[in-house]
Amino acid sequence: MNSLFVKIPTWVQHFFHKQLWSIPTDKKEIYLTFDDGPTPKITEWVLNQLAEYNAKATFFCIGKNIADHPQILEKTIAQKHRIGNHTYNHLQGWKTKTVAYMKDVLKTEKLLNQKNLPNTHKIFRPPYGKIKSSQLKKVLAQGYKVVMWDVLSADYNKKISKEQCLNNVIKNTKPGSIVVFHDSIKASKHLEYVLPKVLEHFSKKGFLFKAIC
């Protein structure tokens, strides 16, 4: 997937139709997602921001970070956010053999199975949005829903300003949009500027923030 796409073109969504790109709805609902955590301080800051607006979100977690920071994951679960699989080592699918890729996915699944999750966690997002067709087929065969996005904040991109990052989200988000942020050190500077403003902006417009079911 071309990371330069802030708004994923409709033709891409139609062509890769086995993945979920947005949620069809006529309601004022937005689906915020956060990749790459749990990360000390940053994920907890995100949780506090979401709580101020009674917002629910979806966190696609890296298995290694779950193993290193289980208490942060527990806090995320306790606040009734949805947890998804983001591989164990943040693997780039196009550069990884399918057998190794699936071993990584299942390693994270094993960790999540040890948690008392209130609902199914069988949702998956490929790191970088890059996944081979052979990997996609096997992930789907494991019962996962593969969740992509239709709005990329690009909060990780140091070549853009925090104002541009905010504009990426404000300009392109519509009812049913799945928006990508990252609760990571790399993205934290932009995230700390953008997330509060996104929550405030859309809340004033009557939107609700929901977790992916």
Per residue in 31-78, pLDDT tens?
Answer: 999 999 999 999 999 999 999 999 999 999 999 999 999 999 999 999
pLDDT higher than threshold 90 for residue 6: no
Which pLDDT band, with edges at 50, 70 and 90, does 7 fall under? confident
- In this structure, are residues 132 and 99 in contact, taking their beta carbons and an 8 Å threshold? no
Among 51, 54, 128, smallest CA distance to 86 is for 128
Q: In whole angstroms, give the CA distance from residue 16 to residue 31.
A: 20
Residues 164-183 have pLDDT tens digits of 999 999 999 999 999 999 99
Q: Amino acid identity, residue 181? A: F
pLDDT given for residue 190 in this prediction: 98
Q: Which has the closest alpha carbon to 87: 119, 63, 71?
A: 63
Asked if pLDDT for residue 87 goes beyond 80, the answer is yes
Calpha distance 196→210 (Å, rounded): 16
Domains of the chain: 10-209 (3.20.20.370)
Q: What is the DSSP string of 117-142?
A: -SS---EE--GGG---HHHHHHHHHT
Tokens of 196: 């509060």
Active site residues: 35, 182
Measure the N-to-C terminal CA separation of the chain; round to a whole number of Å. Answer: 24
Q: What is the mean pLDDT of residues 98-121?
A: 87
| pLDDT value of position 121 | 63
